[in-house]
Amino acid sequence: MTRRSFPMSKVYGLLEPGPVVLLTTSHKAIANVMTMSWHTMMEFEPPLVGCIVSQNNFSFTALKVTRQCVLNVPTTELASKVVGCGNTSGRRVDKFEAFGLTPVPAAMVAPPLIAECYANLECRVVDTRLMNRYDFFVLEVIKAWVDPARKDPRTLHHRGRGAFMVAGNTIRLPSNMK
């Protein structure tokens, strides 16, 4: 795929519809992947993203210590890999190898991009005030990449217990909302 730099001002449109993302971290030379659905935009520019990474997840310590991650947005072709990453722990499994995901070096952070994902957001942690109480991190997106050929990507949206809504058609309405 072609991967192009993507403007910060448009990042919100990638995460606002609520896609499952694959969060990559890198700690002590081990890169890991976590499936995550609990995230929200918090600011347009620079783009801020709030997300929950549970203390039970192997990624928690990596994110807490290194303060870096990448949010990779998969589409429906990757559904089985997304579930595979959600069903396993980086404590025991090299998920890149186990699920055939290809790490690609990022520009600004240590964790890798996932080549198979149509968008990749390089992030740093900017606020941990709600980390101890809620496992909530505030991320700033510092570099974004997207495959410009994918106009209406068929993202996955978790409904719980293995049920995923697949993105349907996009409609356009006369809106003043950003």
Q: Supply the minimum distance, in Å, between the C-beta of residue 29 and a copy of itself.
A: 27
CA distance 175 to 74: 27
Question: What would the x/- binding string for a copy of itself be over residues 17 to 36, using CB under 8 A?
Answer: xxx---------------x-
The answer to whether residues 144 and 5 touch, using CB atoms and an 8 Å cutoff, is yes
Give bridge partners of residue 22 from the DSSP assignment: 35, 72
Q: For a copy of itself, which is the closer residue by CB, 38 or 98?
A: 38
Residues 6+ apart with CB under 8 A from 94: none
The answer to whether residues 113 and 24 touch, using CB atoms and an 8 Å cutoff, is yes
How many other β-carbons are positioned within 10 Å of the β-carbon of residue 8?
17
User: Total binding residues for a copy of itself by CB under 8 A?
Assistant: 57
Question: What would the x/- binding string for a copy of itself be over residues 54 to 93, using CB under 8 A?
Answer: ----------------------x--xx--x--xx------
CA distance 126 to 139: 6
The answer to whether residues 33 and 170 touch, using CB atoms and an 8 Å cutoff, is no
> Does 40 help bind a copy of itself (rule: CB under 8 A)?
yes
CA distance 81 to 75: 10
Q: For a copy of itself, which is the closer residue by CB, 28 or 151?
A: 151
Q: Supply the minimum distance, in Å, between the C-beta of residue 86 and a copy of itself.
A: 4
Question: What would the x/- binding string for a copy of itself be over residues 116 to 155, using CB under 8 A?
Answer: -----------x-xx--xx-x-x-------------x-xx
Question: Which of 43, 55, 65, 128 contacts a copy of itself by CB under 8 A?
Answer: 43
What stretch of H or E contains 43?
Answer: strand 39-43
Residues at the interface with a copy of itself (CB under 8 A): 10, 12-13, 16-19, 35, 37-43, 48, 50-52, 76, 79-80, 83, 86-87, 127, 129-130, 133-134, 136, 138, 152, 154-155, 157-178
